[in-house]
Amino acid sequence: MFVFQLPEIGEGVVEGEIVKWRVNEGDLISKDQPVCEVMTDKATVEITSPVSGRIGKRMGNEGQIIKVHTPILEIATSGGAPVATGHAPKHAPAPAPAPVAAPAPKTAAPVAAPVAAAPVAASAPVAPKAPGAKTLATPAVRSHARQAEVDIERLAGSGKGGRVTHADIEAAVTAPEGIKAPPALVAPAPSQGDERVKIIGLRRKIAEKMVQSYQTVPHFCYVDEVDATELYDLRKSLAELASKQGVKLTYIPFIMKALCTVFREFPTVNANMDEGAFELVVRKDVNIGIATDSPAGLFVPVVKGVQNKSILELAAELADLTERTRQGKVQLSELQGGSFTITSVGNIGGRFATPIINHPEVAILGVNQIHDRPMVYNGQIVARKMMYLSPSFDHRVIDGAVAARFVSALKAILENPASLLLELR
């Protein structure tokens, strides 16, 4: 009988979430057969069996977070004493994202392996976190904080690199009420016909990313209306030419090129926040993420070096990247390195929305439906193609006046898209 432990699944990774079991108790399996999928902060990993045999017992449910070297399966083989073993995992092609997630501009620091901490006296002081500092903690520590009703976002960790540890949570339990988390919300009373859907895997990661962004970043949204009539006509006139080259031309490539021009005047909008150093990293390249709805959830693939590509090249790359994202074939590197994000629901409908920033970026542009409206144009009431832009900004580093000027500059180009010809080289 083999006791199969969760193997090491990446440098610095100490735990993972079981998102899908591939086998059931009683199943016959062969060596190297996938037995489950585990999601970490870095990727979705396929775990394979080191031996052939029959599954005796599964230890862990889908949605449960399991530490490395914790038993997950008992596998009955032909003879032999019980042996605890691990096995090298295989990385699945679909990485775990970030909603209106996303990619960091540099590789995240590895998660420290758990270290036994010295007992903390009940009277030991609990250091509050500095304003704007990022809270570093493993999912297990965050779960511990929730159970203990401790507001982990207000703690300064004592672990390596400032990570919050289990010992910090225990110390906070006896700290003043200011460290305690608000009482948990009461679960809704059950009613006949209700269905409970467990939030696991990618949907859990998206939820965590959204909460992190909204709790870290003081958002504000600025909405302006654009007369997109000339943009509409220009795209329509070029769409047939692009189609002959096998490219579907949408409005997004025009907006991407317009952004490149505006970023030269407002470089701090094309930037990332380094929360650890509390510094704004102004990006040289324009790497624009495109929020993409897929059967597996929301991903943000990144088109890189937008400033160096033509509208036709951007359209072709955008179509390829979003299609592979929906098919689950996008690479992890293609989800990283973004400096700005566009989210568009114009093809669905609605006038405007207030998007959540794809942290650590500092702005996101909402592009909304183009619709016919009666407008006063050259002294006459005529039908015009109108569109709302609804970007959100990080108010820590972008003031309202800067945001307003940024949107006005972008609006001016989109209302006169022929000006983009001046960008040709």
Q: Are 67 and 140 in contact (CB under 8 A)?
A: yes
Report the C-alpha gap between 148 and 67 in whole angstroms: 20
Q: Could you give the C-alpha distances from 150 to 83, 126, 178, 373, in angstroms and in order? A: 39, 12, 9, 52
Report the C-alpha gap between 25 and 327 in whole angstroms: 31
Q: How many helices (H) and strands (E) does the chain have?
A: 7, 23
Reply yes or no: is the peptide bond before residue 190 cis, omega within 30 of 0: no
The answer to whether 399 is a known catalytic residue is yes
The answer to whether 87 is a known catalytic residue is no
Q: Token digits for 51?
A: 């031996």
Catalytic residue among 32, 285, 320, 399: 399
**Which residue in this structure is represented by tokens 């006139």?**
237
- Neighbouring residues of 355: CB distance < 8 A, sequence distance ≥ 6: 100, 221, 291, 343, 364, 365, 366, 390, 391, 392
Residues with catalytic function = 395, 399
